[in-house]
Amino acid sequence: MPNQDWLKNNALTLNMIKNLPDYKGKKRLIFASLKYVDDETCIKHHIEFAKIPY
């Protein structure tokens, strides 16, 4: 979601990953303030995590 306030207050969670659209062959880049899932889960769901600096 391209809203700065939303990004500051929402971490990457397993529920958020499960609500993503179906995988279509490209790696997904997720920007969030925190990540509450492990790297194995991100790899399994083709997610690359980028921490925002606030």
Mean pLDDT score across all residues of the chain: 87
The yes-or-no verdict on residue 48 having pLDDT over 70 is: yes
Nearest to 34 by CA among 16, 21, 18, 20: 16
Average pLDDT over residues 26-47: 92
| pLDDT at position 3 | 76
pTM recorded for the entire structure: 0.73
Question: 11-29 pLDDT, tens per residue?
Answer: 899 999 999 999 989 889 9
CB proximity list for 36: less than 8 A, separation 6 or greater: 11, 12, 13, 14
26 vs 1: which has the higher pLDDT: 26
